[in-house]
Structure 1
Amino acid sequence: MTPMPNLRAADVPTEPDYAVAASGPVETDPRTLKHDDTFAVFDTRGDAVPGAAHGMIHRDVRHLSMFMLTIAGVRPLPLSSTVRDDNGTLTCDLTNPDLPDPDGLPPLTHGLVHLRRSRFLHRAACHESLAVRNFDVRPRRVEIALAFGADFVDLFEIRGARRLRRGTTAPPLVGADTVALAYTGLDDRTRRTTLRFEPAPDTLAADRATFRMTLAPGETRVVFVEIRCDGAPPALGARLAFRAALQASRTALRLRLARAAAVTTSNGHFDEGLRRAAADLAMLVTDKPDGPYPYAGVPWFSTVFGRDAIVTAFETLWSDPAIARGVLFHLAANQATAFDPTADAEPGKILHEVRYGEMAELGEVPFRRYYGSVDSTPLFVMLAGAFLERTGDVAAVRVLWPAVEAAIGWIVEHGDRDGDGFVEYGRRSGDGLVNQGWKDSHDSVFHADGELARGPIAIVEVQAYAFAAFRAAAAIARALDQGATAARLDARADALADAFDAAFFDPGLGTYVLALDGEKRPCRVRSSNAGHALFAGIARPDRAAAVADGLTGTAGHSGWGIRTIAAGEARYNPMSYHNGSVWPHDNALIALGLSRYGHGDAVARVFEGLFRASVYFDVRRMPELFCGFARMRSQGPVAYPVACAPQAWAAAAPLALLQASLGLTIDAAAGRAVFRGPHLPDFLDVVTIRGLAVGRGSLDVEVRRVRDGAAVSVLERRGEVGVTVET
């Protein structure tokens, strides 16, 4: 059997704004679960409805495409549908509509039979308990059915890609309480789904399990279902598997949440947002052999992304450095070692994305192991340096040093395509991403008249990251007693800073230009990208003040947050994905930069806007992005309709905003927590941080807002640790 030919570029949704918008008709407010490499999307009844982008996806292949509950052949009425605050369990409460009685008794009026579905994911399996209770005063005979199916389509097919050929579906194997479904793809891999029921259904077919129950008044019957995606035969009955997996899942979740510093404040709404952020991060973090790794987001980005994970690690570094460690070691283990134009891979380059599905295995999409991001590599080195400063873990960075050296080699040798000292990008393959910075929509880099920039493109923030990467690598080299190497790296950083200021700062704009195109023409556009120069530390102090003013002025700041593109620019559109919307992670990194340069008032404006916006978001969950329309009195922000939520770097944004407000850094070598110019925004009077790891000890601190800033008090210290407050 010959492999399917590559899809045309137009058939494959490689651009994020196209990919998400092209997804199937998902019901409003879908219910999402995730554990490790498995996620699931259901409707408010807990059903996976055929024709919608519902189902259970394991390693980028849909292993359950239909799962629908009926009572007497009709769908029950929804009462409520909630995911636990810790994202662990979906619970759907349902009831019967008006139904005729099969025995000729008076009809079963609606609301007499209650059905409760409790469901969670754990280790490539979905576990469900279905409790059916009769609230009538007389016995009732009811028929409960679960219809199911597995189409084994690739995630990119769900997102809209068209395939000319597919593999072979095996005949279902039906037992007394088990149905096994299987599909052998064109990649010669067999993927399996096994459904197991307890008690055994009265009737079990290849696509339906039927239970006939006679319930006394007040009686409850419970059906357990286990749906496995890994092909492993069930080791336990569905009931025991449910209980064992639930206990293991909740224990692991408690341990994951306990690892980070605990934050409480005087504002209950903000605390709710922090708890949601912690729960979302705990769900999105996947335990890899190299350590915890945050997957980018659910549903479409539930996999390894380099840039997203590094940014998330930066945002959480002060509170949970274990995430940064896991990210660094996993990315180092998957660093490119050879040239592969189809994957945009070059020696030393850091991953952009990994996919495991059939289409990726066959090369129908380029993302099996894809390196098409220009910023992941310098960000990786930046994170390694920040991790060393935060933890003092010289042993870890010694192991990472070869990967750091290779990444620096890529920046110098392959990232700088024309030898001018700047890092440029341009895809090597026609199927790759056109733009390879974090704003990777096809129209996100343009000139003042709206003309799209042609590459190779030197985007502004990547030059800042390269500068910071040289500085970080120099710090690591010094820690490893490689003084000569450190000096060379610092010299590179100094030279880049001078060249960057000359080429990128535009006095007329009052900020850094968006990019230089392939002809070295500046893209004279006011953008949030310029704020990343503050985050990376490349900006001169006098330039930083001008950049801060532009970002937080009315053109740059919507009132809810900093726009990706300032109002008035040629391609400004507050409803676009990257040309006028507001991204929480973007704002968080900029706030860290503003704090670095001492612009506390600007930090407070960014922090306040995003907090006020968060009050309007469902369950206080910070979305991937929202529209950049100006803030209006008594109205909330305008949602971006297909924004991912939860999204890791958005979930972590409040933690970074808090850090920026406090001016908090950790000097592990000195055993001190440092607060530089701490300020609290108007909505926070008190912040308490407990279990803040510092070197080999930890601290509990309280920060209280005062007229001229904030006062820091040590509540408890464990080990030889201290606090420094700089005004």
Structure 2
Amino acid sequence: MDYRVIKEGDVFFLTGLNGDIVLGDDQGHGLYTKDTRFLSRMELFIDGEKPSLLTSAGDKSYVASFRLMKESKDEGAIEVLRERFIYDGVLYERCTLTNYFVTDSNIEFTMTFDADFQDMFLVRKYRTGEVGKMEGVQTGDQDMTLAYVGADNLRRLTRIAWDADGGQADETGTVSFPLSLKAKEQKVITFFISPLTEQQPAAEPLTYEEGLKKLEASYEAWYGNSSRVEADSVLFSGLYQRGLQDLRMLTTDVGFGDTTVAGLPWFAVPFGRDSLITALFMLPMNPQLAVGTLRTLAAYQGEKTDPWRDEQPGKIMHEIRYGELVTTNQSPFSPYYGTIDSTPLFLALIGEYYRWTGDLSLAKELKPNMLRALDYIDAALEAGSGFMAYKQEAEKGFPNQGWKDSANSIIHENGEYAESPIALSEVQGYVYQAKKSLVPVFAELGEPELARKLETEAEELRVRFEAAFWLEDEQCYAIALDKNLRQVRSVTSNPGHLLMSGLPEASRAKAQAERMLRTDMFNGYGIRTMSTNSTGYYPISYHNGSVWPHDNAMILLGLGKQGFKEEAGKVISGLLQASAHFEYQRLPELFCGHDAGLGHPVPYPTTCSPQAWAAGTSIVFLQAILGLYPNAAKKEIALSPFLPEGMDELKAERIAIGSGYLSVSVVREANGSTFKVEVLENTTGFALVG
């Protein structure tokens, strides 16, 4: 990556590799919260010059460090170590200056700050709009405040304080420290930067050491409450730990419990689809994240018909923003509802949460939300001739509203873009899965008639789907039906999600699984979003030929559930090999679709990293490897492990299922093709089958 980013809560900080945000920056670097940039410049100077970068590190998701050097013609240098983290809404920036000259050195250490308080959409040049005005800089003995009054009449402030005496601050936002350092002497100056509104009191900063200790303790608690994994595969162990750490970083609470934001740097807010899929991935590791995610999305469930926001009663949101353009109704993201899949995924997650935990209390709590979501889906099915379809209503919304939401992602063989309403294949699978998975939930809630109705409706949808979507010549399902119910005959990854839903009949499920592993779809590192033979394929396309780890993970959930171990093993091995080529073994949002014969995956030019559902991919690896699929209604756990190539031993401990935990080890036997499975702990209350 050509940037460093850290995040805690709803505050994140994005800079260049030297730790600076430079004047006139056009990379979007800055300190952000509530979709507003509270710091648009932070530059470090020694004697008026920029020190050169020696190295920077961001291997810990929550801490970044930068080692800089100011050279001289004489033998020696002034070295600066910058270390930073965020805790309780405050950015801590510690600068340690060391004199490596053999004589005393008199230097001027300077930090220059500025804040433009721009809305995230303006920073990304995604929207334009009317904005407020700056109020200037107020300075004190050991602090300064930059202020802005928005078009929404909200006063936003950036308060910058420091712990060293002798700093001279001026109205340009510059604070200078004249320093005299003996040979090998160090001077430490810590800055405390707080993004605030006039309605939000500033947190009293701790010392750097106290703040970091509390932050690290929260990570240790996260690890302690998550499933533990040991494997003789360094790649797998590393990827799992990286995912665990990044998921903690991307967790936030907007008032309804912990959920994940979509990804950094541009999607640091709760989403419908992204947060739901991430929570689905995390069920084996931490099912409680599903609770916060579902409560958050239930709180913003659609209440009325509002074309401005693509809102409809019962619909689950796509994305929520908090910036100035949203609060002044210049943007519809307050929240925006232009997604076709969030609502069935919302219901499917409730069903899957019950399957894993046997906990009905959440379903009881969210029953009104579930019923409204089902009503919305049924109305959409009726309007879509029996399939759930989307059509953009909001002028500033999205033309395509599945997970492949770029304008060119649904394309016919002749090169024409499909016209809406568009019925996506995977969405019908999500609807099927939602209704099927809620059958035992409503039965337990004392609604047997509704349970039977859902069972019947799911089966009727399956029959309609099989008749309308199957491509006999390609031995897979079409990506979509257009407004005339014509098949969009692209061969894509979308129908791979159907395996997770359980919708396809057995022979077609097998054919679909095999189709995705042919060389036109599988590039050696993962399953492409589109076949190299399909119209529109381009390996550097965002959605038409690239490889998305989360897309592969959705497919893996189905491959594992359906027992396609060979195909699952190939996908896992490919993505593990790909992960070795990315910084800190962090799978990005996506990478290009070029063949693995190049010797390395080709990075996508602009990608979010870390990304929540990409971070959750390794947890899906664990579930697929173990063949682990609990069923609370039957008090059973399906367990059918295998080990992918390059792994001979795996131990997973404290997987939360039912009212307790499952711990299991898997060892490859001498013949190489069979596995010894040992259950180390089973306090779940469920019986093992498989």
* TM superposition score normalised by structure 2: 0.96
Letter in 1 for 2:79: H
Structure 1 stretch displaced more, 251-260 or 188-197: 251-260
1:274 lines up with 2:240 in the alignment: yes
**SS of corresponding position for 2:602:** coil
User: Is 1:252 paired with 2:218?
Assistant: yes
Q: Secondary structure at the match of 1:148?
A: strand
Determine whether 1:314 maps to 2:277.
Answer: no
Take 1:342 and 1:708, find their aligned partners in 2: how far apart are those partners? 57
Number of residue equivalences: 683
After TM superposition, the structure 1 stretch with the greater mean CA deviation from structure 2, 89-98 or 154-163, is: 154-163
The reply on whether 1:192 has 2:157 as its aligned counterpart is yes
Percent identity over the alignment?
36
How many Å apart are 1:723 and its aligned residue? 6.0
Q: Deviations over 1:164-221 (max 9, x none)?
A: 5421111211111111111111111111100011113431113101001111222211
The match for 1:701 among 655, 658, 664 is: 664
- Partner of 2:20, secondary structure, is coil
Q: Following TM superposition, by how much is the alpha carbon of 1:69 offset from its aligned partner in structure 2, in angstroms?
A: 0.5
CA offset digits 1:54-91 (Å, max 9, x no partner): 110111110000001111110112111112x4312111
Structure 1 position 176 matched with structure 2 position 141: yes
Q: Deviations over 1:445-481 (max 9, x none)?
A: 1111121000111111111111111112222101212
Task: Give the aligned residue type for 2:168.
Answer: T
The Cα of 1:672 is off from its aligned counterpart by 5.2
Q: Which residue of 2 aligns with 1:86?
A: 60
Residue 417 of structure 1 deviates from its aligned partner by 5.5
Distance 1:368 1:722, change over 3 A: closer
1:318–1:666: 8 Å Cα contact kept in structure 2? Answer: no
Query: Which residue does 1:472 correspond to in 2?
Result: 437
- What is the Cα deviation at residue 697 of structure 1? 2.2
Q: Which amino acid aligns with 1:64?
A: L
CA contact (8 A) 2:283 2:356 kept: yes
Residues 500/618 of structure 1: CA separation in 2 closer, same or farther (3 Å cut): same
Q: Which amino acid aligns with 2:428?
A: Q
User: Structure 1 residue 124: deviation in Å?
Assistant: 2.3
Instruction: Give deviations 1:565-623, integer Å, cap 9, x for gaps.
Output: 11111111111000011101111111111122221111111111111111111110001
Note the alpha carbon deviations across 1:406-431, whole angstroms, 9 max, x for none.
Answer: 11111001x23635211010011221
How far apart are residue 128 of structure 1 and its match? 1.1
Shift of 1:360: 1.6
Deviates most, 250-259 or 610-619: 250-259
Q: Please give the alpha-carbon distance, in whole angstroms, between the structure 2 residues aligned to 1:164 and 1:40.
A: 24
- Secondary structure of the residue aligned to 1:279 is helix
Alpha-carbon separation, structure 2, partners of 1:308 and 1:709:
36
Deviation at 1:674, TM superposition (A): 2.7
Which of 27, 47, 52 in structure 1 is aligned with 2:20?
A: 47
Match of 1:13 in 2: none
Per the alignment, residue 264 of structure 2 pairs with 298
- Does 134-143 or 583-592 show the bigger shift? 134-143
Is the 8 Å Cα contact of residues 284 and 648 (structure 1) preserved in structure 2? yes
Aligned pair 1:33/2:6, yes or no?
yes
1:38 is displaced (CA, Å) by 1.1
Aligned to 1:56: 31
Q: CA deviation at 1:162?
A: 5.7
Task: Give 1:690's aligned residue.
Answer: 653
Structure-2 change in CA distance of 1:668 and 1:464 (3 Å):
closer
Whole-angstrom CA distance in 2 between matches of 1:722 and 1:468: 22
Q: Distance in 1 between matches of 2:201 and 2:505?
A: 62
**CA distance in structure 2 between the aligned counterparts of 1:650 and 1:260, rounded to whole angstroms:** 18
Superposition map of 1:3-14 within 5 A:
none
Residue 371 of structure 1 is matched in structure 2 by: 337
2:40 is equivalent to residue 75 of structure 1 = no
Which residue in the other structure is 2:629 paired with? 665
- Three-state SS of the structure 1 residue aligned to 2:625 is helix
Q: Which deviates more, 623-632 or 111-120?
A: 111-120
Q: Secondary structure at the match of 2:639?
A: strand
| One-letter amino acid matched to 2:287 | P
Superposition deviation, residue 671 in structure 1: 5.8
- The corresponding residue for 1:399 is 365
CA distance, structure 2, for counterparts of residue 705 and residue 409 of structure 1: 49
1:594 aligns to what? 559
Amino acid paired to 1:33: I
- Which of residues 111, 117, 123 in structure 2 aligns to 1:152? 117
Quick check: 1:649 aligned with 2:613? yes
C-alpha separation between the residues in 2 aligned to 1:133 and 1:333?
A: 52
Q: 1:463 corresponds to which residue? A: 428
Which of 551, 570, 574 matches 2:539? 574
Q: Which residue of the partner structure matches residue 584 of structure 1?
A: 549
* Cα 1:256/1:289, change in 2 over 3 Å: farther
2:71 corresponds in structure 1 to 97
**2:502 match:** 537
Residues 18-46 of structure 1 deviation map (CA, whole Å, 9 limit, x = unaligned): xxxxxxxxxx6200011111111111221
> What is the distance in 2 between the residues matched to 1:418 and 1:311?
26
- Cα distance in 2 for partners of 1:604, 1:331 equals 34
Counterpart contact for 1:306–1:376, Cα < 8 Å: yes
Contact 1:680/1:709, CA 8 A, preserved across alignment:
no
Q: In the alignment, is residue 497 of structure 1 matched against residue 462 of structure 2?
A: yes
1:137: which partner in 2? 102
CA 1:490/1:652 → structure 2, altered by over 3 Å: closer, same or farther? Answer: same
Deviating runs (4+, > 6 A) in structure 1?
none
In structure 1, stretches of 5+ residues that fail to align are 1-27, 99-106
Q: Which moved more, 1:530-539 or 1:122-131?
A: 122-131
Shifted more, 456-465 versus 666-675: the winner is: 666-675
Matched AA of 1:48: I
SS at match of 2:157: strand
Counterpart for residue 14 of structure 1: none
**1:106-117 correspondence to structure 2 within 5 Å:** 109=75, 111-117=76-82
1:49 Cα offset (Å)? 1.4
User: Which residue in the other structure is 2:231 paired with?
Assistant: 265
- Partner in structure 1 of residue 519 of structure 2: 554
Name the counterpart of 2:353: 387
CA contact 1:345–1:370 (8 Å) conserved in 2: yes
What's the secondary structure of 2:383's corresponding residue? coil
- What secondary structure sits across from 1:420 in the alignment? coil
The Cα offsets for residues 334-393 of structure 1, whole Å up to 9 and x where unpaired, read as 111111111101011001000000112223222121111000000010000000010111
Measure the CA separation in 2 of the matches of 1:599 and 1:162.
45
Preserved contact between residue 77 and residue 100 of structure 2 (Cα < 8 Å)? yes
Q: Give the distance between the partners of 1:419 and 1:302, measured in 2 at CA.
A: 33
Query: Is 2:40 aligned against 1:65?
Result: yes
Q: Which amino acid aligns with 2:677?
A: V
Describe the SS at the equivalent of 1:365.
coil
2:610 is the counterpart of 1:629: no
Amino acid at match of 1:91: S
**What is the distance in 2 between the residues matched to 1:156 and 1:720?**
47
The 2-side partners of 1:525 and 1:86 are apart by 41
Deviates more, 1:299-308 or 1:356-365: 356-365
